[in-house]
Amino acid sequence: MLERTEVDKVAHLARLCLTTAEAEQFTTQLRDILDYFEQLSELDVTDVEPTTRAIDVSNITRGYPNPLCRSRGYFCLCPRPGRRLF
């Protein structure tokens, strides 16, 4: 069970200055979160494959070569392109 002294220690390490009311509130909230994780640890997940994401996503990037990647491409975006400085 999470104690107030542990919340105070973590707040000190994180350089947070908590009021008494905030520390009590965080103690209750963190205790509830840890209790929930305790409930989750009771689940049988032997047949569940590990994943890094809950949904399947793909990396969306621009196609290359990007026309702005050419040496003069970015200079047109500069406030004073004649100096060729960013």
Q: Classify burial at 7, counting beta carbons within 10 Å of its beta carbon; exposed 0-12, middle 13-18, buried 19 or more.
A: buried
pTM reported for the whole predicted model: 0.53
> What tokens does 58 get?
């793909």
Residue 22 confidence (pLDDT): 96
Residue 53 confidence (pLDDT): 81
pLDDT range class, residue 54, cuts 50, 70, 90: confident
pLDDT at 17 over 90: yes
CA dihedral sign of residues 7, 13, 14, 17:
positive
Mean pLDDT, residues 47-59 taken together: 82
Residue 9 confidence (pLDDT): 96
* Amino acid identity for residue 38 in this structure: E
DSSP notation for 4-59: HHHHHHHHHHTT----HHHHHHHHHHHHHHHHHHHHHHTS--TTPPP-S-SS----
Residue 72 confidence (pLDDT): 59
The CATH class of 1-42 is mainly alpha
In tens, the pLDDT along 58-70 reads 776 666 565 555 5
> Within 10 Å of residue 1's Cβ, how many Cβ atoms?
6
Mean pLDDT, residues 68-86 taken together: 61
